[in-house]
Amino acid sequence: MRVTLLGTGDTTGTPTVGCDCDTCETARERGLERTRFSVHVENERSGRSLLIDFSPDFRYQFLRDDVSLPDAAVITHIHFDHLDGLGNVFRVFDDLEVYAADETDPETGQSVAETVRTDYHYLDPVTVRPTTPLEPVRICGFDVTLVPVDHPPLVCYGVAIEDPETGSKLSLTGDTSYDVPDSSRAVLADPDLLLADAIVPAHLCDYHPLGGRHDGPNGVPRTFGTKHMTREGALALAEDLNAERTRLVHVAHYYPADEAFEEPLAVDGEQYGL
């Protein structure tokens, strides 16, 4: 499989509009960017491809990186930076299958699949496929499994993508705290490539109203507030999952400039062959 990181940023991206912080200025100077989150996964044998999340930057990402339009998509949760690009289907796609979890979210009274179907009812090309978490489904020749993660107050899912012919595996944590359930960790484990949410470094937890939580043995918080992992938390999870390679995504411009583009933090446009 060929994996292209179309969007590696958080909800505002880097550079952030109207921001002249050192990190955003450094990104502009170096021609680097982290647009809103999205990942393209191509089955090179068949030429079919799968998109994980529809970034609001969909049009720009696909023009910039020149990847094929997806044959199917997975939506991990209903926050706008992962979903609102779906409107780009209009006049671009003839048909598109969109897979999303079928579990009812107590916060909204709907599953992710139902929300997608309701909010984008006017998009005739879209066929929503409600999907049961922790049960693999064959999409574009891959075995794809949605796994529950921890992103309160909404339900959210990570994704494991395996090629049944080559055995290669891509795991995405989704937007989550470090408190990923054991059942989900088991599905995500042993990937060739892990894409892990790492919104900020742990030392910035001092500036969050809720601080940090899920401290490691050294007292360093692995969760920033309640919804996202710190860099240190993401790397600890990568070790727990026995990831062969890890790239940190959903990265905010709050990283200090001297840390913001260091390994293993990803930037847009990276490609990996698994």
- Which pLDDT score, from 0 to 100, does residue 65 have? 97
Going 167 to 41 to 263 to 207, the CA torsion angle's sign is: negative
Domain map (residue ranges) of the chain: 2-265
Average pLDDT over residues 230-252: 98
CB count within 10 Å of CB 25 equals 13
- Which pLDDT score, from 0 to 100, does residue 163 have? 98
231 vs 94: CA distance, rounded Å: 40
Indicate the fold that domain 2-265 takes in CATH.
Metallo-beta-lactamase; Chain A (3.60.15)
**Predicted TM-score of the model (pTM):** 0.97
- Which pLDDT score, from 0 to 100, does residue 116 have? 98
- Which pLDDT score, from 0 to 100, does residue 113 have? 98
- Which pLDDT score, from 0 to 100, does residue 263 have? 97
216 vs 222: CA distance, rounded Å: 7
96 vs 259: CA distance, rounded Å: 39
Sheet with 212-215, strands from edge to edge, namely: 212-215, 221-224, 228-229
- Which pLDDT score, from 0 to 100, does residue 7 have? 98
The tens digit of pLDDT for each residue in 108-123 reads 999 999 999 999 999 9
- Summary mean pLDDT of the chain: 97
- Which pLDDT score, from 0 to 100, does residue 36 have? 98
- Which pLDDT score, from 0 to 100, does residue 177 have? 98
105: pLDDT confidence band, cut at 50, 70 and 90? very high
Helical H runs in the chain?
Answer: 22-30, 58-65, 80-83, 112-119, 182-188, 231-240
Nearest-Å Rg of the Cα atoms of the chain is: 17
Residues above pLDDT 90, as percent of the chain = 100
134: pLDDT confidence band, cut at 50, 70 and 90? very high
Q: Which amino acid is at 124?
A: D
Q: Give Cβ neighbours of residue 117 (< 8 Å, ≥ 6 apart).
A: 128
68: pLDDT confidence band, cut at 50, 70 and 90? very high
- Which pLDDT score, from 0 to 100, does residue 229 have? 98
DSSP 149-181: --BTTB--EEEEEE-TTT--EEEE--S--S---
The tens digit of pLDDT for each residue in 198-229 reads 999 999 999 999 999 999 999 999 999 999 99
Q: Which amino acid is at 156?
A: C
- Which pLDDT score, from 0 to 100, does residue 75 have? 98
- Which pLDDT score, from 0 to 100, does residue 92 have? 95
Q: Which residue has the tokens 């030429």?
A: 47
Average pLDDT over residues 136-152: 98
Average pLDDT over residues 41-50: 96
- Which pLDDT score, from 0 to 100, does residue 47 have? 94
